[in-house]
Amino acid sequence: MARSKSTKKTARQDLELHIASWNVRSLVEDSGDERICRKNGHSSVDRKIDLLAGEIQKFKIDVAGIQETKWFGSDIWPLGKKTFLHSGRQLPANGEHARRNEGVGILLNECMTTKWRRGGEQWTAISSRIISARILIGERGEQLPNGQIRRSDFYLTVVNVYAPTSKAPQNIRDDFYHDLQRTINSVNSHDVFVLLGDLNARVGSTLPDKSAECWSGALGPFGLGCCNQAGEELLMFANSNELSILNTWFKKPCHKRGTWTHPGTRECHLIDYIMMRSSQRVYCQDVSVLRNASCWTDHFLVRARVKLSFIPQRRHHQGNARKRAAVHELRDPSVSKQYRERTAAMCASASDSPVLGHVARMEESRLPRQVLFAELPMPRPRHGPKRRWRDIIVADLKVANIPDSQWHTIAQQRDQWRHLCRDVQSIHQQRLQQPKSFECACSRKFRRSGDLKRHTRFCSV
């Protein structure tokens, strides 16, 4: 299952996912819906889908690509708390006979089903061989040059495929790769992309008449067997799309690399793959073949362990960078007192009027709104009550002839409050530009009000 871990030092969240691929040969039932059962009522295993779901839960698989279901239709099948997305051949009309073949699906566990629904239930049934699903993993941040963090959704796109065999006509294989290329082109470049399934191709470990350096980005050093023609086509396709075959990048014993046993020679071959973008290959921690998973098939379950890290992308730039707040220094009483004085001075400035409208529209449980109506630790007038931020703002608004009973109502309207703030700021700018002077009745002018008070004591006028 998906496991998340957060660290306090870097504010990072790590999410570990288990993504698997499995060719189950068939999921056809004895009875039930005509899309998933045979008319003659013959099936090798009854309720094989329940056996599959149990094995997926046993090995803690989050997302599983299933091939060769041999079901008809493209639908969403609920399996308890799990979800099975399926894409198959079109259901034949009454009286028509159609061969059951292909069929692919994506099985999501309970946690990934919730994330998939939260992201809008995005999935596409391209054909009976290709299906894709886009899952909302979480939210990640990107730090901008001005120091702010821009939040964006973090998606995982999974494409499950079942390629034609080497005996299939070339036009069928060309149509398959054409549809797959069109699907890959539609994937968002910011998504974590995973391509998995039964490709029916052997990429091998050594290539005949080819240099291994040609596929350095796509093929790893730990393949299996020799490469065939279908394998060369797969390598060319992976290299053109900058994909890496993850099965060949982890050193395993030879008997733990194969995913399919040949019925005639009983040799094990590697034909089921899990691929990611070469730039995202660092997310994959391991790829293993689980030979003890049982679902009445000659293919083995292939599981990849992917670890996604939600770390804000920091950009090193010149200029005024945002500094981190040393909150621990507030434990010092002198530093705490200085911080309160500076905060009170900032709240008392008239340039905070736009912020005031934003705070006034907040809920009462929000801390900034509570500060708005709280008492400020600042000197108060002699024989007067303690002044709040709201009282200071009201005093500034009276200069612009704005009643006390209207500012809170006007602040709820964003556009009207924006125009009001501009008017208040223009009035304050005019006051700042004008020279300050206090004039007595005797036509004498003073720069400070205290000087005027002392003069009036002895002025005879």
Chunk the chain into consecutive blocks of 10 residues (it has 461) and report each block's average pLDDT, rounded to whole numbers: 56 84 91 78 69 94 96 92 94 76 95 91 94 89 66 89 93 95 94 96 69 72 90 93 94 91 89 95 95 92 90 46 54 72 58 61 68 54 61 69 70 78 74 69 76 77 67
- End-to-end, the C-alpha distance of the chain in Å comes to 89
CA distance 376 to 387: 7
Question: For residues 136 and 108, is the Cβ–Cβ distance under 8 A?
Answer: no
The DSSP call for residue 288 is E
CA distance 160 to 19: 11
Measured torsion, CA atoms of residues 40, 46, 50, 53, in degrees rounded to the nearest 10:
-90
Tokens linked to 231: 């394998």
Tell me, what's the pLDDT at 461? Answer: 67
Helix axes 353-360, 414-433, angle to 10 degrees: 150
Burial, 115: exposed, middle or buried (Cβ in 10 Å; 0-12, 13-18, 19+)?
middle
Q: In this structure, how many other beta carbons lie within 10 angstroms of the beta carbon of residue 350?
A: 21
What's the one-letter identity of residue 4? S
User: Residue type at 13?
Assistant: Q
Q: Are 131 and 106 in contact (CB under 8 A)?
A: yes
Q: What is the pLDDT of residue 332?
A: 72
- The torsion of the CA quartet 219, 223, 226, 227, rounded to 10 degrees, works out to -30
- Euclidean distance between CA atoms 291 and 171, whole angstroms: 34
Whole-Å CA distances, 179 to 73, 86, 98, 126, 356 = 18, 17, 23, 8, 55
Give 128's strand partners: none
Whole-number pLDDT of residue 350: 40
Query: How many Cβ atoms from other residues are within 10 Å of residue 249's Cβ?
Result: 16
Q: Which residue has the tokens 């309207």?
A: 413
CA geometry: angle 332, 334, 339, nearest 5 deg: 95
Contact of 308 with 192, CB cutoff 8 Å = yes
Residues ≥6 apart with Cβ < 8 Å to 403: none
Can you name the residues that pair with 287 across neighbouring β-strands? 304
pLDDT at 154 (0 to 100): 86
For residues 355 and 359, what is the distance between their CA atoms, to the nearest angstrom?
A: 6
User: What pLDDT does residue 204 have?
Assistant: 86
* Both tokens assigned to 45: 């295993």
- CA gyration radius, the chain: 35
- Rounded to whole angstroms, how far apart are CA atoms 408 and 299? 69
Q: What φ, ψ does residue 66 adopt, rounded to 5°?
A: -110, 135
> What CA–CA distance (Å, rounded) separates 27 from 66?
10
CA-CA distance, 367 to 357, in Å (whole number)? 15
The beta strands (E) that lie in 128-240 are given as 130-143, 149-162, 192-198
